[in-house]
Amino acid sequence: MVKFEPRHFEESDDPLIRDVSGNLWAPILEHPCSFDPSQFVNVMTNFMHNPNYNSNWLFRADILSNRGSARMGPPVPGVPPRTTSFEGFELEDALVRKLIPRNPNRDRPLEQTCLFLRSEDGEGGRVRSLVVYIPHLTSPEEVPFYHPSVRGIAHLHEWDPSSASPGGKVSIHLWPFAREDLRANNRMQRTALMLLQLLHKHGEGRVAGYVKRVTHDTLIPQKRFQDRHTALKSRYAKDLLDSWAEATDPKKHVFEDIAIAAFLIELWADMYKEGDGKFPGFVDIGCGNGLLVYLLRKEGYAGWGFDARARKSWSQYNIQDAAPDDTSPLRDSLQARVLLPSFVARPAPGEGDDDVSGEQGLVHDGVFPKGTFIISNHADELTPWTPILAAQSQSPFIIIPCCSHDLSGARFRAPAPKDTSKGTSAYASLVSWVEKLARECHYEVETEMLRIPSTRNTALVGRKPTGVADLEGIISKYGGTAGYYENVSKLLKTGPRGH
């Protein structure tokens, strides 16, 4: 890979691209490269669809119009692009995108034309590729914070196959609002450096054979998720951060659970839109601080959660419902219970262990009303039990694995999968192991890499069972439950309620 050591242009250097309208495009920085024109265009196309690579202030780009091409897909009529011409270049693609900021209360969206141009030397095989961004604005005062204060940005790639390695150059050019020397502007220099460095990294990565392993938005379109996420964050984040009662980092947990709630709400919108669309309710097993249950309940979804011990925050997140069929007049949405599935072997009479299976209000057998959506979010010991409980109750589920435990509740290292394309790390092995278990429970498992502030962000979704599984046989195959009952007994003796 070519080491990143950019060259700064001087004010006396001639422009490398000439706008036929007479607009001055100032060259700022350049660097050698070993990636060819097709790799450059592929990288820039990826950047065009994902402006968040260039700015953490941005969520995404919505395509407003596209004249249509093999690269960009069929035509999309809409906002007309603001085109301009450059000497020696032919226009190949033109589209308009809308940049969507992460915080719409602080920054406004921005419409922007994207142009792909090309110039070829038929004899020498030299190719010049140009990608130009032109924001739809007329003055510096209109420029949002996340965009450089310029009328346009250009990325130029020059390729000469006959030259010695590396064979190419990339450069950044800016079109100022006034005839000023942008090279003396520190912020513009930093912006140009960031743009060039990112282009260099992704382009050289393609030469080195880098293949992106993580793919987001396979189940829910990015726009739907991010719009829902923005709405939930605007509605709840500030109050939740200000009232955080736990010792853990509030930003991580609040923003993570808001994102998971946004994903689930959009997933449920797809799952229950057919027929009468009635939502069957949810249960969050191993619900922890209870925030996810609280968010889903506040958004109108019936459900509850339980954990082996109560948390400080439960007093503010707990929602009570009238439950006339229960022994008590009110049912808490957050309850302290331990899971003791009916599949777990009980001690024989007279062996000295107390029978805890009948402890009222403390133990749950893992059998839920048919169709209840089971949430298993970093549920640790309950993670491998999730697809088994789901199959038992004919329920859908989502599993977001975290720490590795077997069916007995003991910590263990999941075996590396035979298919190593998804990785062989401890976490990747756990995900593959749980996914395999779920498939043997007769679920078609879908995978989504969640957009949450956590490296353990793989979600396994099973929407409905495809058959009847031999659950006893599966439990035996995956190590059995020896020791699970004893762990439950210890939890009960130490007081799982935690109040």
Neighbours of 242 (CB within 10 A): 8
Q: Is the predicted pLDDT of residue 499 greater than 50, yes or no?
A: no
Q: With 90 as the cut, is the pLDDT of residue 328 above it?
A: no
* Cβ pair 333, 321 in contact under 8 A: yes
pLDDT band at 354 (very low <50, low <70, confident <90, very high): low
Classify residue 49 by burial, with Cβ atoms within 10 Å: 0-12, 13-18, 19+: middle
For 276-295, what is each residue's pLDDT tens digit?
Answer: 678 999 999 999 999 999 99
What is the b/e burial string over 349-367, where b = at least 16 CB atoms within 10 angstroms of the residue's CB? eeeeeeebeebeebbbebe
pLDDT tens by residue, 395-440? 999 999 999 999 999 999 999 988 887 788 999 999 999 999 999 9
Token output for 136: 């739809």
Computed over every residue of the chain, the mean pLDDT equals 89
Instruction: Map out the domains of the chain with their CATH numbers.
Output: 7-207 (3.30.530), 222-493 (3.40.50)
User: Is the CB of residue 71 less than 8 Å from the CB of residue 41?
Assistant: yes
Distance between alpha carbon 488 and the CA centroid of its chain, in Å?
35
- Decide if 183 contacts 8 (C-beta within 8 A): yes
Q: Using CA atoms, how far apart are residues 440 and 257, in angstroms rounded to an integer?
A: 29
Instruction: Identify whether the C-beta of residue 178 lies closer than 8 Å to the C-beta of residue 150.
Output: no
* Residue 496 burial by Cβ neighbours in a 10 Å radius (0-12, 13-18, 19+): buried
**pLDDT tens per residue, range 101-136:** 998 888 899 999 999 999 998 667 799 999 999 999
pTM (2 decimals)? 0.81
pLDDT at 390 over 60: yes
* pLDDT, tens digit, 9 for 90 and up, residues 335-347: 999 999 989 988 7
Pairing assessment for the beta strands 7-8 and 334-336 based on DSSP bridges? unpaired
* % of the chain exceeding 90 in pLDDT: 73
- pLDDT band at residue 388 under the 50/70/90 scheme: very high
199: confidence class by pLDDT, cuts 50, 70, 90: very high
Residue 275 has pLDDT above 60, yes or no: no
Query: What pLDDT is stored for residue 269 in this prediction?
Result: 95
| 145 has a pLDDT exceeding 70 | yes
